[in-house]
Structures are given as structure tokens and as C-alpha cells.
Chain A
Amino acid sequence: MKRFIGFVKKEFYHIFRDKRSLFILFGMPIAQILLFGFAITNEINNVEIAIFDQSNDVETQKIINKIKSSPYFNVENQINKESDIEKEFKKGKIKAVLIFERDFSKNLQTKNVAVVQAITDATEPNVANTIANYTSAIIQNYQSQKKQPKTNLVKVEVQSRMFYNPELKSVFNFVPGVMTVILMLVSAMMTSISITREKEIGTMEILLVSPIKPFQVIIGKVFPYIFLSIINAIIILLLGFFVFKMPINGSLLLLSFESILFIISALSLGILISTISDSQQTAMMLSLMGLMLPVIILSGFIFPINSMPLPMQIISNIIPAKWFIIIVKAIMLKGVGIQYIWKETLILIGMTTLFITISIKKYKIRLE
């Protein structure tokens, strides 16, 4: 045990004395979360929109005036034919078209329901999403002003449709996503690099020719990174919660358990990488190409899995990050308990066990 503590102490010296790895450890998560966060929640201002007013009556004029007077939108032009909508989008200047149905006022008075359709250019999904939200907000605001105690309840329905990207994901996508990427990066890359560094500078030879056991070396290497990864996860969650109002609806305990599980699976991947690479550079390339890219591309963090081609969807199943993202979203957003995510959890446990077994089997007690 004394040996182990001595070893862990040495690892902490390495980490805290290497400015670069410290930066990767703590600068990266904060920078990433802020970058992703602000890139996604960008405010919209002076967005060019077009209006296709099929009834052109008092009510629609009032709403249009209200929209025109808001700082968010510039009404670029009026459209008169339905077929012009697509043309306008293709020109690329306008980002949304508001369509008022025929007989808008009449419907509002007789049926109490009238429909405004907001069609947005979702090639920029976040802008599209924001536009749709803003339009509904303006119209709802108009509605509540109009509502008087004695009149009947009137309702203007806003139907928003996302053009070009029907699978628009929530803004809250990025906190679980960034958390996954960071934990993967810190855990797998940093461990694999720190183990291969010992090989590269030759200290592994001395460690092997000493009474310290291989598993003590591995656990000693991994232990500081479990600790640091947990701190990272906490930083990300705090930033998400306070800066971006990301809710944590489910149990914190469950979330911590799942995070530690994922950290351990990433660490075991890091050990696995270190057993097959001889230099820090190889380890870094393997972690970046072999882990980071799949995590970013195939985990559903940036690209939705169900819009991928089938082979990619199948491959995505072997990526632990995919399951972790599902779990984190379910816990944080839906607030579900273990009974809804036990399957994903079991898959993660299975993968972790597999990786650990392989890396212990592959760990060399000699130089070759």
C-alpha cells in the first residue's frame, strides 16, 4: 500500500508540473463548454424574413407590424405565391417565411383558432430553432394583449416546421456531448500518454525490475486520472447548470455513478492503447484518431444517429460514448431513474469489463 501511495504521489507530481497537460486537463473543458455553449445559444438580431400573407386582413397586419417593430426581424419582402417560398430560401438571404392562412381574422373570430406557419431554414439548425421560438413568443405576446376578459378565448396557433433538418436536436445536446468528449480525452489520452512516457524515457524498465506489481503500476497510473476526471465532470456540470441553465432533473447520485463507470471504461481504453504503442506520439495519435473522432462523429453528439446510414448506425453501437450520452441525457433532461437506463448501463459495464480484461491480458511483464 505504501508503494501504491508513493506511486500515486509521483503521478501527481508529473501532472502538476507539466503545464501542457494541466492546460489540457482543466483549460480544455472550460474552453470547450463555453465555446460550444455560446456558439449554440447565440442571440438572433435583424434576421431577414419574408411574409406570405394569404388573407391580408386587420389581424395579420397587426401581427406583421408587431414583428416588424421587434429588433429581431427585418421583413425583407412579401411573397405572393406558395412556390416562391422555396425560391426565396434558395437565394439564401431570408432565414424564415411566415405564412398566414386564408381568412385569418375570420377563422379567429368564428373558430377561435387561426394558424400561422413559420418555415425556417434549418441548414443552420440553431438559428432556425431560435427563430421559431421567437416568432411564437411574439405572436403569443400579441395574443395575450388582445385577450380581454369578456371576449371568448381566442387562439393563434404557431406551427413551426424545420426545413432541411427535420431531426433538429435540442440545445441541451452539447453539455452531455462535451462532457463525454472531455472525459474520453482526459481519461484515455492522458493515461495512455503517461504510461507510454515511462516506456519512452526508459523508467518502465526500472519499474519492471522492481517489486512493484504491474497492476499496481496500472492502477497507480489510472487513479489520479479518475480523480481529475471526476473534477472535470463536476466543472462541466456546474458550468452547464449555472451558465447555460442546463437542468439536472434526475438523481445526482445516479449521474455520478454512470460518469464514474464511463470514466473507468475510457481509462481502460487508455491502458489498452498504451499496451500497443511505444511512444507518446503514437499513443496520442491513436487516442485522437481511434477514440476522439468516433466519439465526436459516431456518438450522436453532433450528428444524430438515426439519420446516419445503416452501417454507421451499427458501428455506433460499439462506441461507449453513444451509450453514455443516452444515459446522461435521460438522467439530466428526462429525469429518469435506473429502471429506464439499465440496458445502456449494462452495455457500458460489459464494455468496461471487456476492455479491462484485454488490457490486463495484454499488459507486458517484460519488454516484449
Chain B
Amino acid sequence: MSISVQNISKSYKSIQAIDDVSFEVNEGELFGLIGPDGAGKTTIFRILTTLLLANEGNAKVLEFDVKQDYKAIRNSVGYMPGKFSLYQDLTVEENLTFFATIFGTTIEENYDLIEDIYVQIEPFKKRRAGALSGGMKQKLALCCALIHAPKVLFLDEPTTGVDPVSRKEFWQMLKRLQQKGITILVSTPYMDEASLCDRIALIQKGKILKIDSPSNIISKYDKVIYDIQSKNTHGLIHDLKNYSSHYSVYAFGEFIHYIDTNQNFNPNDLQDYLQQKNHTQIIIKPAQTTIEDVFMDL
């Protein structure tokens, strides 16, 4: 077991940041904490990286206790905090050299680990980190977190503020790192990234709502979701919410996701209802369930 968290609670003054959180991450696993801003993801990261002490509960990283053995943990994990945490006035190369030095290693020693990522930013190695694009910064930060070959990697919202192409690349890199045997705990507010993890924990308002693999979470979801579209989207949401047997209605991309309370729901009834309400170009079709749908229902 690489990470084990048991009944952890933490509050700041009057705010309960996380409440009785437990989960375990296996060795070599890519585990995702999925939840909106303010759900408590960063607090969990900080407790596991020994930066904060929990009010209650125990947590272990690589079998070291986060409270007593904090020094051992600090020696053997890699951490990439939420906000861009590198020295903006140092060049790419200087940043990397600095982090290598304080971890008692050199760039050359672990070059094979960062090679895939570093080759992409190497052309800019003389550029100050502050002048890099968002995606480049994330790649550099990941290099810095990896330079000492950590056994566990903590990535707190690594893709926030990064363009879709760079996000995709970033996740491909994580997959490759995982193949090298590194356990990765990653958090993200993007539901589409959840399906790329081995297992995920859905977290909201400091509580873990569900832990499972993304495919299990989706397959265990028993409700039928419909994609609905019409010309007047705003009025559509309003009218669907007034439909007597509606269970939930929310915007999802270009469609409205609609779930009915009735097991024997007939889309044609809804079509008639919407036509009465003067909707035109109505589309109603069954939708693919996503993590976000499950999350919305929790």
C-alpha cells in the first residue's frame, strides 16, 4: 500500500475542510481525487505531504506516518502544488538544477525519468520560467517534482489553467510515469480526466462520496440519461424542470441532460410536452453516462 488514509478530518477555524475521509492507494496506481473547487482536495494533499496536521485520523505514505515520520516522507515523495510553484526569475535549467541539488541528485542521474517531458521544454532551457506558457510551466513543474525519482507523486490540480492539447499530453505523460512504477495521486476538477485514472474518489464538501474505478462507477449507475436539445436552450431547461416526472435537469455541453423518475419513461410523451411549449427542432436521445453525470447525482 503506497498511501493509506483513515478517518481523516481537518477544519480551519469554523470551516470543516475535510470530514472523515478514508481511502487507500495501491502501489503503482494512478489514483484521482475528483471534485469541484473547495471540495477539500488540496487539504488532503497537504496532509499527505506532511504540510498540515489532521485534527483526527491517521495517514501513511509508503508506510511512514505523516505526523511522526514526516522527514522520511519528505525525502521520498514528489509534490507539485496547485499554483505554479517554481522560481519565475530563474531559467528552466536553473529551476531544474536547483531542485535536483536540494534533493541531493543531479539532472543527469535521473535524466531517463524526465527525458520524455524535458525534451519538449529543452529548447527553452535558457528562458525564465515566468516567460513560459501555461502548458510549458506545468511540464517544467512536473520535471522538478520528478527529478529525484520519487516513489510517490502528488499532483494537485496539475492541469488547471492549461490548454486542452497540453492537458491531453500531460495525462499521457502520467501514464508513462505510472508504467515506470511510480504511484500517482492526482486531483482535478475536470470530470473528463477522471476516466483516465485507475481508480477515482469523488469528493465534495470535504466528504468522499464514492471510490471505484471509473468504468465501475459508470456501469453501476442505473438511471437512464437523455440528451435533449431544442432551439431555445434557456426555455428548454425551464420547461423540463416544470415537467411533472423530471428527476434532474442540467446543461451538459451542447445538450441538456435529462433524467426521469419514471422507470417506464417514454421519450415521446416528453416530445409532445415540449412541442406544446412551442419548442422547435427538438432532439431527444439516450446519452452516454459520464463521471460528471454520476457526480451530479451524488
- Decide if A and B are genuine partners: yes
Q: Does A362 contact B (CB under 8 A)?
A: no
Q: Does A91 contact B (CB under 8 A)?
A: no
A window 70-89: CB within 8 A of B: none
| Contact across chains for B102 and A366 when beta carbons are under 8 A apart | no
| Contact across chains for B70 and A205 when beta carbons are under 8 A apart | no
| Contact across chains for A18 and B89 when beta carbons are under 8 A apart | yes
Q: Does B180 contact A (CB under 8 A)?
A: no
| Contact across chains for A13 and B103 when beta carbons are under 8 A apart | no
**Size class of B's contact patch?**
20 to 34
CA distance A18 to B50 in the complex (A): 32
| Contact across chains for A210 and B98 when beta carbons are under 8 A apart | no
Q: Does A211 contact B (CB under 8 A)?
A: yes
Say which residue of B51, B71, B89 sits within 8 Å of A205 (CB atoms). Answer: B51
| Chain A positions within 8 Å of B102 at CB level | 3, 6-7, 207, 210-212
A79 to chain B, nearest CB (A): 67
A224 to chain B, nearest CB (A): 14
Say which residue of B83, B86, B103, B145 sits within 8 Å of A211 (CB atoms). Answer: B103
Secondary structure of the A contact surface, majority rule = helix
Q: Given A2-B101, A2-B104, A10-B98, are A209 and B85 neighbors across the interface (CB < 8 Å)?
A: no
Who on chain A is nearest to B12 by CB? A368
| Chain B positions within 8 Å of A206 at CB level | 79, 81, 85, 99, 144-145
| Contact across chains for A208 and B81 when beta carbons are under 8 A apart | no
| Contact across chains for B104 and A211 when beta carbons are under 8 A apart | yes
| Chain A positions within 8 Å of B144 at CB level | 206
| Contact across chains for B85 and A211 when beta carbons are under 8 A apart | no
Who on chain A is nearest to B71 by CB? A211
Say which residue of A3, A13, A202 sits within 8 Å of B101 (CB atoms). Answer: A3
Residue from A9, A18, A208 with most neighbouring chain B CB atoms (10 Å): A208
Q: List 14 A-B contacts (CB under 8 A).
A: A3-B104, A5-B101, A6-B101, A6-B102, A7-B102, A14-B89, A202-B83, A202-B84, A206-B85, A206-B144, A207-B102, A209-B79, A211-B102, A366-B50
Hey, which bits of chain A sit against chain B, CB under 8 A? 2-3, 5-7, 9-10, 13-14, 17-18, 201-203, 205-212, 365-368
Hey, which bits of chain B sit against chain A, CB under 8 A? 46, 49-53, 70-71, 73-75, 77, 79, 81-90, 94, 97-99, 101-104, 144-145
